[in-house]
Amino acid sequence: MKYGYALLVASLLFSATAAPAQKMVHSERSMYREVLVYEEDGERCMCFTRQCRIGRQSCINLADPRRFALNYTRMMMGGTLFMGPAPKRILIVGLGGGSIPTALRELLPEAQIDVVEIDPAVTRVAKQFFGFKDGPKMQVFEVDGRVYVKRALREGVKYDAILLDAFDHEYIPEHLLTREFLTEVKSLLSPTGVLVGNTFSSSKLYDHESTTYAAVFGRFFNLKAANRVIVARPAGLPSDAQLRAKALEYELALRSYGVDAPGVLPLFNSTADWDPKARVLTDQYSPANLLNR
C-alpha cells in the first residue's frame, strides 16, 4: 500500500494532547529524564513526558512492527536515499525505539551502523519494548553525541551517512545545534556522504537553525510535514532527475516499511523560507532553551 502526498502531510509526528485511551505499560526515571511507554490505537510509543504531552519519541505499529508509525521516520529514510551505492558506515545520534537503525540494518546488512544514545534507560526500553537488537554490525555507544563525534574525528573515522535524531524532553540539546557541532559532523562525512537531521517545522528556533545549517552546508533540502527533516550533502544536492531515479531504485525495498519513496519527492524543497538575518547558533551563542519558549 502506498502513502500519497496528502496522507504524508496529514500524518502528524507529534500529538499535542493525549487521548484517554492511552495505556501506560512502562515507566522509569533515568538520570536524564522519565522514559515512558504508552499503547494506544494499536501503537506502542516511547515518550519523555507524561501522556506524551510534548510529543512521541518513537512508535511502532503492534500489528506490523516493521512498518514506520511516525511521519518523520519515513522522511528520514527518504533522506538516506542519497548515500553512495554501497555505504560502509552509518552514524545515528539518538536511538529512540530504534526503528530507523533496525530498518537500515535490514536494508544494508554489510554496513556498520554506530548508534549513539546518551541514556542507558532508552537503550533498555528500545530492546525490551520495541524489538531493537544490537550486535557486531549494530553497536550502541552510550555517550553524549558531541563527545562521540569529537572522538571519531580524532580517530579519523568517516561515515557515508549521519542521522541526527537526538531529543530531550523539550527539544534538541543546545550543544547539538551549533555551527561548531555541525562543522564537526560535516568533517566526519565521506566525500559523497549525506547528513539527515530531524527537527521541528514550527519551532521558534526555525530561523536560527536554518541559518546555522546554511552556514555550514550551504543549500540543503527541507522536508516538511508537521516536523521537518534537513538533508544536506557537502558534495552538492542531487538534481530532480537523480532524486526520481533513486526513489524508483529503492521503492520496492522501502515499501514494506510504509515508505512511498516516490511519494516523498514532493517534500524535497531547497527554497530558503527563513529569515536570513537570524543569528547563527554557536557554542558561545546557543540559548535554545530561551529562544524556543
Q: So which residues are the catalytic ones?
A: 165
For the record, the C-alpha cell of 20 comes out as 484517554
Residue 56 sits at φ, ψ, to 5 deg, of -105, 130
8 Å CB contact between 207 and 169? no
Any idea what the Cα angle at residue 14 is, between residues 12 and 20, rounded to 5°? 105
Q: How far apart are CA 25 and CA 43, in angstroms?
A: 12
Any idea what the Cα angle at residue 59 is, between residues 58 and 62, rounded to 5°? 155
Secondary structure of residue 55 in the 3-state scheme:
coil
Q: Which residue, 233, 153, 142, is CA-closest to 188? A: 153
Q: How far apart are CA 34 and CA 28, in angstroms?
A: 6
8 Å CB contact between 155 and 123? no
- 80 CB-side CA count, 13 A: 31
Q: Which segments of 133-172 are extended strands (E)?
A: 138-141, 159-164
Q: What is the rounded end-to-end Cα distance, in angstroms, of the chain?
A: 39
Please report, for residues 7, 47, 78, 174, the alpha-carbon distance to residue 225 in angstroms, rounded to integers and kept in the order given: 10, 20, 13, 23
Q: Which residue, 227, 249, 216, 225, is CA-closest to 83? A: 249
Q: Which residue, 177, 173, 174, 183, is CA-closest to 215? A: 183
